[in-house]
Amino acid sequence: MAGMLRWLIHSLVCLGVVASSRGEWVLGERREVGRLAAGAVAWEIEARDGATRAIITGVSFSSANATLRVLDNPPDARTGFLDLLRGAGAIAGVNASYFHEDYRPLGLVVSEGKTIHAFETAKLLSGVFAVRGHGSMELVRSSALGKTDGLREAVQSGPWLVENGEAGATLNAEKLARRTVVATNGKGEWALVIFSPLTLAQTGALLTVPHLAGDWKIQRALNLDGGSSTSLIALENGSPVVQIASFGPVRNYLAIIPRAR
């Protein structure tokens, strides 16, 4: 009996540590802000963890109906985000990869089969969003990507926020910034999501809350460039229903494109 009691106390303590380290995020009511083409939905939701408040805005969609494309936006041919989306026939998009002060991309960037920048090995660049030649989308560890030949689209970024439904254990818990994220359940449901200023640890914890992005649970999520670069536009019948701007130009975007029927 004493042994069982010690085991129970130990288990409860462990559970308390896990809950404390990840926070106790509670989601408010989801507000649908737009029904987009290809069955995509734009939404906004508030979350609270004690006195901490977060506003999360996103667009969720099925890979059966839409895909993600990298829209390059070099300095010598720079186009406004909204015009870039409309020109590509996109229904929504967010900022994508990190870039240098001269706007050279950081890490692998592939757009419509063209390699804009080569793969890099760096601790920060721990993951890749990729569209394979046959059209399937995936989030994969940089170390597991393999050959980049034949990729249709790709953005290398990081850090990895969620893997196998669990938040990363070593995410920074101090620096606050706006966040941009691409996430999936690994079964065809995807979301582009931006967060009001949070730490990476808070963002990872929030992403593991069931039904954050819809009636499914996020299994994998990759952090994209955030802070001043964070931006999201969603279009319903060609008009913005969400338009959250970056504080300056960015090099490229991830855009949701309806699949041809």
pTM: 0.91
Domain assignment present for 1 = no
Q: What is the dihedral of CA 126, 205, 181, 243, to 10 degrees?
A: -160
8 Å CB contact between 256 and 59: yes
The total of other beta-carbon atoms located within 10 Å of residue 211's CB is 12
Encode pLDDT of 111-158 as tens digits.
999 999 999 999 999 999 999 999 999 999 999 999 999 999 999 999
- Could you give the number of structural domains in the chain? 1
Distances 215 to 62, 78, 205, 210 between C-alpha atoms, Å: 12, 37, 18, 8
Alpha-carbon span 227 to 180, nearest angstrom? 8
Encode pLDDT of 15-67 as tens digits.
333 332 356 999 999 999 999 999 999 999 999 999 999 999 999 999 999 99
Residue with tokens 């394979």: 132
Domain assignment present for 11 = no
Domain assignment present for 9 = no
Burial of 175 (C-beta count, 10 Å sphere; 0-12/13-18/19+): exposed
Encode pLDDT of 67-103 as tens digits.
999 999 999 989 999 999 999 999 999 999 999 999 9
The total of other beta-carbon atoms located within 10 Å of residue 176's CB is 13
pLDDT for the residue 19 = 37
Q: What is the dihedral of CA 88, 93, 98, 102, to 10 degrees?
A: 50
Domain assignment present for 10 = no
Domain assignment present for 208 = yes
Alpha-carbon span 162 to 124, nearest angstrom? 15
Give the chain's radius of gyration (CA, Å): 19
The total of other beta-carbon atoms located within 10 Å of residue 169's CB is 9
Q: Look at residue 220 and tell me whether its pLDDT is greater than 60.
A: yes
Q: Which amino acid is at 61?
A: F
Q: Are strands 189-198 and 177-184 parallel, antiparallel or unpaired?
A: antiparallel
Domain assignment present for 17 = no
Domain assignment present for 8 = no
DSSP conformation letters of 88-129: HT-SEEEE---B-TT--B-S-EEETTEEEE-----SS--EEE
Burial of 96 (C-beta count, 10 Å sphere; 0-12/13-18/19+): buried
Domain assignment present for 192 = yes
Q: Look at residue 4 and tell me whether its pLDDT is greater than 50.
A: no
Buried b (16+ CB within 10 A) or exposed e, 66-82: bbbbbbbbeeeeeeebe
Range of the domain at 196: 25-258
- Paired residues of 35 in beta bridges: 41
